[in-house]
Amino acid sequence: MAFALANTPAAAGASTQDLSSTHAAVLAGYALARAAVATINVAQSRIEGFKHKLAGECPGAGAGTLETEATQPMSYEVAAALWSIAYGSAAGPIGRFAKVIKPLHWTNARVDRVAHSFATTLSGLATIRRPDLCADIHAWTASGFTTIPQDVIELDHHVESLELPEIPWNLATPYLRGRDVVLVAYIKRAERKVAEAEFTLGQKDWYQVCETVGLPP
């Protein structure tokens, strides 16, 4: 998970509006960064509970699914379910962050677009509908592995659209003042920590859930 900060090209002057918006975004990003790091273990605990639930309700339900491009949406739904838990665990802090960003504006159109797009996408990730994975897999196997349930297709398309924009950190310097520099340094460290956890734990969880329910990763 990355955290948006307002940025502007170094060649441009920093207006009062740009400075105030950046400061507000930095404070909101710092609060979100702290919450995100604290939520890593909370989210993982919920995911472990989810895995245990699946192991009891539909172990091996998708056994027989071939590993082809046509069947990938079923495995993607597993990832969507895990994302709904991971990002949903930080829904409160993400909502507060988005609320701060919404009224902010920057004179640079690119900066303004990236900041608001980031907050909107992050809010979308935090509110992903958790699918009924067992029901969808049973429907899939009942079709003889020929028909992907419509809600699976719709969810996969929705999640694929939630791509966080890359934050141009190198453009942030002109708008940072005083203690904001220290806060940004913390945010960047938090970004790396959350990203590492998302990659290492996320990959493991996805493979484990796919194996539990009988779907190819």
Map out the domains of the chain as residue ranges: 16-165+179-213
What number of helices (H) and strands (E) belong to the chain?
A: 7, 0
pLDDT for res 175 = 82
Q: What is the dihedral angle through the alpha carbons of 60, 66, 67, 71, rounded to the nearest 10 degrees?
A: -90
pLDDT for res 10 = 37
pLDDT for res 168 = 67
Two structure tokens written together for 186: 């913390």
Residues in Cβ contact with 170 at an 8 Å cutoff, skipping those fewer than 6 apart:
none
pLDDT for res 164 = 84
Distance CA 35, CA 97 (A): 11
| Dihedral sign from CA coordinates of 17, 116, 29, 199 | negative
Question: Is 110:146 a contact under the CB 8 Å cutoff?
Answer: no
pLDDT for res 4 = 42
Question: Is 216:75 a contact under the CB 8 Å cutoff?
Answer: yes
Residues of the chain with pLDDT under 50: 1-12
